[in-house]
Amino acid sequence: MSDVLRPETGAAADAAAFPTRQTPPIYTVKLWPHRSLSVRGFQGLILCLAVGFLIPLVPFLGTPVAWGLLPFLIGALVAIYAALMRSYDDGKLTETLCLWPDLITVVRAEPRGAVKRWHANPHWVRTQLRNDTAIESYLTLTGNGREIELGSFLSPGERRAVYGQLSAALATLNR
């Protein structure tokens, strides 16, 4: 099981999703996007790019051509740095699903601070893992008059794992 799918339990997970609940959830999972580049890797990449961008500049050092190339090389480096920083900010997205015997909640905390909440009675919630869409293993929850997508940033295998875990947890409630 991926670390993305690591279930959380206890009061901390409960307070993160719905602070008014006194009982801990019977199932909790916190989902977030995969990080393929660590902070150290990010620093190494920027350093390698900076050195690589300087290589074409070496033959022109001390000439006016070097001053003409320098702004473009610096601009490219700054653009790559800004794009990678935006990617890191977008990676702060989390979805927390909590399941109690009488309530299921999904709290989506977006990178720019917006928080979206969905809740329903777990007895009436329907989970679907569809392959008929453009997205492989499209995971949705339907209940309380709405259908929401869960784990849109996960790989198809991770969505199937979440579907299996959630379906099993819901099945134990409906026995």
CATH number at residue 134: 2.30.29
Residues 83, 70 within the same domain:
yes
What value does the mean pLDDT take over residues 48-55? 93
Residues 76, 25 within the same domain:
no
Confidence of residue 108 (pLDDT cuts 50, 70, 90): very high
* Digit-coded pLDDT (tens) for 83-96: 998 888 888 899 99
Domain end residue (candidates: 90, 105, 125):
90
Predicted local distance difference test score (pLDDT) of residue 12: 47
Q: What share of the chain is helix, strand, coil (3-state, %, to 5)?
A: 45, 25, 35
Residues 69, 128 within the same domain:
no
Predicted local distance difference test score (pLDDT) of residue 8: 46
Domain end residue (candidates: 72, 90, 108):
90
C-alpha 174, offset from chain centre? 30
Residues 97, 166 within the same domain:
yes
pTM: 0.73
The whole-angstrom separation of Cα 23 and Cα 4 is 24
